[in-house]
Amino acid sequence: MDLNIRRKSTKTRVTGSLIESYPHDLQMYKLPPLENISLQEFESLALERVTLLRSLATSTTLKGFRIYSEEWVEYIIGELRSQGLKYYAKLCEKSACGTTEADLQARRKDHIAHFILRLAYCRTEELRRWFIARELELFKMRFATMRGDAVESFFKINNLCYTNISDEEKSEIMHFLRESTPYPNLDNMKFYKVKFYEVLDLVKSRRVYLSCGFAYIPHKDFISVLAAQYRTQLKQSLAIACHHLGEIEQDERLVTLLKGLHQSYSGADYSSVKAVVPIESLDSLSVKSFPLCMRQLHEQLRLSHHLKHGGRLQYGLFLKGIGVTLEDSLRFWREEFTRIMELDKFEKQYAYNVRYNYGKEGSKKNYSPFSCLKIINTTVGPGDCHGCPYRHCDISNLKNRLQGYGFNSQAITEIIDMTKKGHFQVACSKYFDAVHHTDLGIGINHPNQYFEESQKIVKGEVKVEVKKEVKSTAVKMEAIDQIEEMDFDEVM
Amino acid sequence: MVGQHDENMLSDMLPIYYSRLFPQNVFCRWLSCGSAPQPLSNRELSFTLADDVYLRYLSISNQKELQTLLQKKCPHKLDIGAVYNTKPSVGRHDAVVLARELVFDIDLTDYDEIRTCCQEAKVCEKCWMFMVIACEIIDKALKEDFGFQSILWVFSGRRGIHCWVSDHEARTLDSPGRGAVADYLCLITGGDNQNKKVHLGSDNLHSSIRRALNIIDKYFEQLLQDQGFFSTPERLEKLSKMIPDEALRSQVQKNLDSMSDNSLDRWKTFINTYENYCRETGINVRKIRYLVEEIKIQYCYPRLDVNVTKGFNHLLKSPFSIHPKTGKVSVVFKPSNAKNIKLDEIPSIHSLLDDSSPDNAQHQANMRTAVKNFQEVVFSLEKLEAIRKKNDANVSLEF
């Protein structure tokens, strides 16, 4: 098996010992591996890296840890150890430049596995986004755990030379640096001047001083520059890999493995449905089987006969996902909107959007309903009432709403507690239990999954003993672990 | 006058407006600079015709084609899109966006929860003040923080303003870059279910936020009076909902309820109460360290439609297009002059074309000023582009 098919072999072949190829735990993956490996190793390396990337995602989403926090890293390392991936645990825990055989072997596996996954994840835009986001998290996490001397040698190995600004320049802008750089003791730090677009994550969150298009960063923020370079490089490489897919897919032994790699745990996207749900039943369904985010949109629509764009998109796609037909959807929105506007205006300005959601207009793409992660990470502005109620509501408003629904105070407290801790999906699960008078603790990843789980109970397909059944909780959690939404962008 | 605007008359007036008053030449020069290194013909234009028929993916190669197209289609509204790698009318399905001005859209409807003079499509001199503040803050940030120079400010035609940044760096900025700039400038987040929409934390305030606050301070008291932000029980309720600390909230409620309903007086009392509270409680104030600043920002800071800025190929109404609902011209203005703009002095197609109209002379003059403002920006952009090309040529010779 020669991985070199990806690239015309103009690069000099990496020969010599492993120590020359892999001088450092952390690498930028600039050159593809050139050695021959067995099919078996190919497969296990691929699966192991998917496990690694997956544990990064789980730590953020299902566990709800703040990204790059100590608990977040701890969970991942623990997970790696329990899965028997000691070499990844080692690479993630303390990146350095040791020279033992174990060090070198770990780096070699890391290198090869990364390139195998490029092949598996280059085929669609969505896959690429997911892969880049996870690989970047991994890169940043590993950089953050590096010791000072290891950082220095990393810079040296990768030819990253930057000169710091002079002391005069620094003292001139010291006042602004103090205001805008979120670190203590700036006096002893060296500052570097880079273009603002090299450190977008710092710009985005206003953690850097900007002047005339330049960002002034201290040494420790260099990870932003590196990550941005790495992101660009990865993006380009994936695009190139995608062009060469045809060549790789001639080898049938690899096709099934590469294609199936992500699907093996990504779950349904709810873009096609079998059941048909009549719109007359929406009022009662919204109470019985809608998650709070959708119930809230439904009620808002009934109340004000209007939703802003974000709300129409989120709710419209959800309705499509539960089985409301295009014709019914048009009727539903028309009936509400025409109470406050002329029919003509609705047909001209809004009907298009409804048909668009069903893939009948514009790019004619059959859009999938939004997952929890997409909804949680959505931007919500003035006048909007979409988004995730646990994320985008003031606690007092949320509480009032829940009280208005007549939940008992214990249930409300549980939901509010989880919300306060930032465990939005867990709060949603508590809401589920409160509505259905159960204690299932289902992991909620998708509003449409919520709906389906609820319908199973309502229709009696799933027998539930009302309240207290510890066993089923554990089992359920595991099953849900398997469902993970693709559309999980980088958290910056 | 706005009151006399009749949409049905547009079809008769627009051909005359486009050939006599629309600055076709400067318009094409502006777009061609923004299109470099791709030709003008790769730029998407979009027309809205009578009866809301949309024509997308149009393009022109020169001023003559523009004139012909405008006369033939007579668009009620003119939008500008991105620059593609091919002529957008030809290969639009696999067309790739290569460049696009960095744009900002600020609309008064996003201020509905705080403005008290008007709602929705309405706008008056009082709420125009919000736009004045927005323009000054964004303009400063773009120039001082990001180093952009070619910045065009345009009245949107009804109730907002648009900003177009044509610097090469801005035009070629990728989506994450646009998103980062938008988020850097966006301080107000949250929907109808969140009362407090500004969170500044408790660390040092970023230089750009301090600068914005200094600008807000110039206008805050007047705006407070004009809008009567705290003059009724409901509006006071809004203020108190923004106070996260319960003890402080009840003190504020107690002190403000019992006094005169003048907003400025109430504001001063609020500040006093807040300061006393912080002094007395001492340690506990981290959470509300910047409460006063947060409230000022929520009431005054620009509310950007970030999706317009983040999108690489979002269409935006062209300068000097007529707003079909008001008949007003989307005039280009100087940011330094924003505060002197009088809404009824903004030229409308009716008074421009009717020389018996009482506003005719003034609207004509204002139209000329607007075209001159446009020219100035385009000339400076052409100069910038010339310098950039020269530098690029030098760099490529060196290698």
Q: What is the CA radius of gyration of chain A?
A: 26
Distances, alpha carbon A269 to alpha carbons A300, A322, A368, B147, in Å: 26, 12, 6, 43
Are the C-beta atoms of A104 and A18 separated by less than 8 Å? Answer: yes
What secondary structure letter does DSSP report for B145?
A: I
Question: CB distance A387–B181 less than 8 Å?
Answer: no
Cα angle A232, A235, A241 (rounded to 5 degrees) comes to: 140
User: Which residues pair with residue B164 across a beta bridge?
Assistant: B103, B152
What are φ and ψ of residue B98, in 5° steps?
Answer: -105, -35
Residue B397: the pLDDT is 64
Burial A224-255 (b: 16+ CB within 10 A, else e): bbbbbebbeebeebbeebbeeeeebeeeeebe
A59: buried, middle or exposed (CB in 10 Å: 19+, 13-18, 0-12)? buried
CB pairs under 8 A between A and B: 114
pLDDT band per the 50, 70, 90 thresholds, residue B394? confident
pLDDT band per the 50, 70, 90 thresholds, residue B147? very high
Question: CB distance B147–A398 less than 8 Å?
Answer: no
Helix (H, G, I), strand (E, B) or coil at B58: strand
Residue A263: the pLDDT is 63
Contacts 24+ apart (CB under 8 A), B242-248: B242/B195, B242/B196, B242/B291, B242/B294, B242/B295, B242/B298, B243/B288, B243/B291, B244/B196, B244/B287, B244/B288, B244/B291, B245/B277, B245/B284, B245/B287, B245/B288, B247/B277, B247/B281, B248/B273, B248/B274, B248/B277, B248/B288
Residue of A nearest to B56 (CA): A362
Are the C-beta atoms of B32 and B354 separated by less than 8 Å? Answer: no
Residue A93: the pLDDT is 82
* Rounded Cα distance, A324 and A320, in Å: 5
What are φ and ψ of residue B273, in 5° steps?
Answer: -60, -45
Q: How many other CB atoms sit within 10 Å of the CB of residue B61? A: 15
A334 to chain B, closest Cα gap in Å:
19
Question: How many residues are given for chain B?
Answer: 399
Residue A285: the pLDDT is 92
Asked if B282 reaches chain A (Cβ–Cβ under 8 Å), the answer is no
User: Which residues pair with residue A194 across a beta bridge?
Assistant: A215
Q: Which residues of A touch B110 (CB under 8 A)?
A: 381-383
A209 to chain B, closest Cα gap in Å:
7
B399 pLDDT higher than 70: no
Residues making up the binding site of A: 293, 372, 388, 428
Q: Which residues of B touch A386 (CB under 8 A)?
A: 191
Distances, alpha carbon A21 to alpha carbons A4, A18, A33, A487, B172, in Å: 16, 5, 10, 35, 36
Are the C-beta atoms of B348 and B2 separated by less than 8 Å? Answer: yes
Q: Which tokens is A24 given? A: 């450092």
Are the C-beta atoms of A219 and A189 separated by less than 8 Å? Answer: yes
Hey, which bits of A64-213 come out as E strands? 191-195, 209-211
Q: How many other CB atoms sit within 10 Å of the CB of residue B79? A: 20
Are the C-beta atoms of A267 and A366 separated by less than 8 Å? Answer: no
Q: Which of A210, A211, A385 sits opposite B192 (nearest CB)?
A: A385
Is A439 or B267 the better-scoring residue by pLDDT?
A: B267
* Rounded Cα distance, A244 and B213, in Å: 53
Residue of B nearest to A206 (CA): B184
Mean pLDDT is highest, among A240-244, B116-120, B379-383, for: B379-383
Q: Which tokens is B343 given? A: 């809404």
Which spans in B141-229 are helix H? 168-171, 175-185, 207-227
Question: CB distance B169–A386 less than 8 Å?
Answer: no
Question: CB distance B191–A182 less than 8 Å?
Answer: no
Question: CB distance B207–A182 less than 8 Å?
Answer: no
Residue A475: the pLDDT is 38
A226 to chain B, closest Cα gap in Å:
16
Helix (H, G, I), strand (E, B) or coil at A452: helix
Q: Report the percent of chain B where pLDDT is more than 70.
A: 97
Residue B91: the pLDDT is 66
Q: Is the ipTM of this complex over 0.85?
A: yes
Residue partners of B58: CB distance under 8 A and separation at least 6: B44, B45, B46, B47, B69, B88, B89
Q: Which tokens is B194 given? A: 């969140």
Residue A268: the pLDDT is 55
User: Could you write out the three-class secondary structure of B362-386?
Assistant: HHHHHHHHHHHHHHHHHHHHHHHHH
Residue A159: the pLDDT is 80
Q: Which tokens is B383 given? A: 């100069």
pLDDT in tens, chain A (492 residues): 444 444 433 334 444 578 888 888 899 998 899 889 998 899 899 989 998 998 888 888 767 788 888 889 999 999 899 888 889 988 888 777 778 888 889 999 999 999 999 999 998 887 888 899 999 999 999 988 887 788 888 888 888 777 789 999 999 999 999 999 998 888 888 899 999 999 999 999 999 999 999 999 998 888 889 898 899 899 999 988 888 888 888 888 888 788 877 765 444 566 666 678 888 899 999 999 999 999 999 999 999 999 998 999 999 999 999 999 999 999 999 999 999 998 888 888 889 888 888 888 766 677 888 988 889 888 888 888 899 999 998 888 899 999 999 999 999 999 999 898 888 888 999 999 999 998 888 888 899 999 999 998 988 877 766 554 444 443 344 334 433 444 445 544
What are φ and ψ of residue A413, in 5° steps?
Answer: -60, -45
* Rounded Cα distance, A461 and A482, in Å: 21
Rounded (to 5) percent helix, strand, coil in chain B: 55, 10, 30
Question: CB distance B205–A398 less than 8 Å?
Answer: no
Residue A487: the pLDDT is 44
* Rounded Cα distance, B333 and B151, in Å: 11
Question: CB distance B144–A211 less than 8 Å?
Answer: yes
Residue B355: the pLDDT is 87
Residue of A nearest to B202 (CA): A182
Distances, alpha carbon B255 to alpha carbons A432, B68, B234, B269, in Å: 43, 67, 16, 7
A95 to chain B, closest Cα gap in Å:
29
Weakest-pLDDT range from A40-54, A451-465, B39-53, B270-284:
A451-465
Asked if B244 reaches chain A (Cβ–Cβ under 8 Å), the answer is no
Q: Could you give the residue numbers annotated as active site of B?
A: 44, 105, 107
Are the C-beta atoms of B327 and B14 separated by less than 8 Å? Answer: no
Quick check: bond before B37 cis, omega within 30? yes
Are the C-beta atoms of B335 and B138 separated by less than 8 Å? Answer: no
Residue partners of B171: CB distance under 8 A and separation at least 6: B34, B83, B99, B100, B101, B102, B165
